[in-house]
Amino acid sequence: MDVASARSISSHPPFYGNPICSSQSSLIRISRDKVCCFGRISNGMVSFSTSPHAVPGGKSLGQARGKGVQWCTRSLRWGPYRFHDKKSHSSSELARTITVRSDLLLSGAATPESSYPEPEIKLSSRLRGICFCVVAGISAIFLIVLMIVGHPFVLLFDRYRRKFHHFIAKIWASISVYPFYKINIEGLENLPSSDTAAVYVSNHQSFLDIYTLLSLGKSFKFISKTGIFVIPIIGWAMSMMGVVPLKRMDTRSQLDCLKRCMELLKKGASVFFFPEGTRSKDGRLGPFKKGAFTVAAKTGVPVVPITLMGTGKIMPTGSEGILNHGSVRVIIHKPIHGSKADVLCNEARSKIAESMDLLS
């Protein structure tokens, strides 16, 4: 087995000349009989490809094990260490792929024990996910009654902040998450007073981010997709809390949303943004959009960055039906003041990114 950098081989396509990450991506070349494979490591896994034209007489590679790499015949389907030739009866197929652990390359000596199956969703995680939905649903049914009863008084005495509704939402979030995961909060002293308007921003990793942030007990208005407002009970509660609706990919709706946020801030209410715009699929911090910081700059209110860690591992994006074991860490950073949206955006993102790097 020969290990070479991507630049040390010139006979392969240009694709291999640009590793995804210099510390985790490299090129491996394996020669077996007259078959030459090239592969690329990314995120702990490496993919190999080989041309079927290199196989003598059109024969399949067969199954062989050598130095921890498992080759499989064409008749096998996709698996953690297998490949499947989708056109098994065509000799014009360009490439086939297998996957092995990247530590085979890093250690220099591969063993059969080095390979492991892809992680599977445990039954306990599925059961925890079902229990979480049941607890959240049942508690919401009872607590929505309190919101409905108190809503006329909220509109009469606290139309913009709506502290009573946010207090009910805090109770609901706490009941929902308490049996399943622990929340560790740092920097509570950095939170502005309840009467101080501010723009809160945070990274977005999971559906659980909302529950975690509601448990802080602050009366800030989230920005939410309009489709969620039609969901019974949850949508009703969001409307009564004053959550700001937004239609994605609709320029007019985006402008209306920003105008509404500016009106709320001028009336003393706080707003909350996820500047990434969507949940991260790999836990990494994405680029920030400037809408939240433009609102803060124009209204003169402080920006409060918040770092969330752990929610994405407990309930990964796209797997809202499961709930893994774990804990969540919340770091509330000191408020940032400024009149330039670019400066506010860069500073807020730097603080969140720095704390994520320290905790990862």
pLDDT digits (tens, 9 = 90+) for 119-169: 456 888 999 999 999 999 999 999 999 999 999 999 999 999 999 999 999
- Residues 235-252 have a mean pLDDT of 91
Average pLDDT over the chain, rounded to an integer = 75
Q: Where are the domains of the chain?
A: 120-358
Q: Tell me, what's the pLDDT at 120?
A: 59
d(CA 290, CA 288): 6
d(CA 211, CA 179): 13
Range of weakest confidence among 61-75, 155-169, 319-333, 338-352: 61-75
Q: Are 212 and 309 in contact (CB under 8 A)?
A: no
d(CA 328, CA 212): 8
The CATH number of domain 120-358 is 3.40.1130.10: yes
Q: Give the pLDDT band of residue 92 (cuts 50, 70, 90).
A: very low
Q: Are 97 and 49 in contact (CB under 8 A)?
A: yes
| Helix extents (H) in 281-340 | 291-299, 311-314
d(CA 303, CA 344): 8
- Residues 288-314 have a mean pLDDT of 94
d(CA 144, CA 26): 55
d(CA 354, CA 176): 30
Q: Give the pLDDT band of residue 282 (cuts 50, 70, 90).
A: confident
d(CA 101, CA 44): 6
d(CA 119, CA 324): 13
- Residues 103-109 have a mean pLDDT of 37
Per-residue pLDDT of 10-59, as tens digits, reads 333 443 343 333 334 344 444 444 444 444 444 444 444 444 444 444 44
| Helix extents (H) in 201-309 | 208-214, 234-241, 251-266, 291-299
Q: Tell me, what's the pLDDT at 203?
A: 95
d(CA 293, CA 307): 17
* Secondary structure of residue 218 in the 3-state scheme: coil
Contacts of 183 (CB under 8 A, 6+ apart): 177, 212, 215, 327, 328, 329, 330
Contacts of 176 (CB under 8 A, 6+ apart): 132, 135, 136, 139, 211
d(CA 138, CA 275): 32
Q: Are 330 and 185 in contact (CB under 8 A)?
A: yes
Per DSSP, 189 falls in state G
* Residue type, position 195, single letter: D
* Residue type, position 59, single letter: K
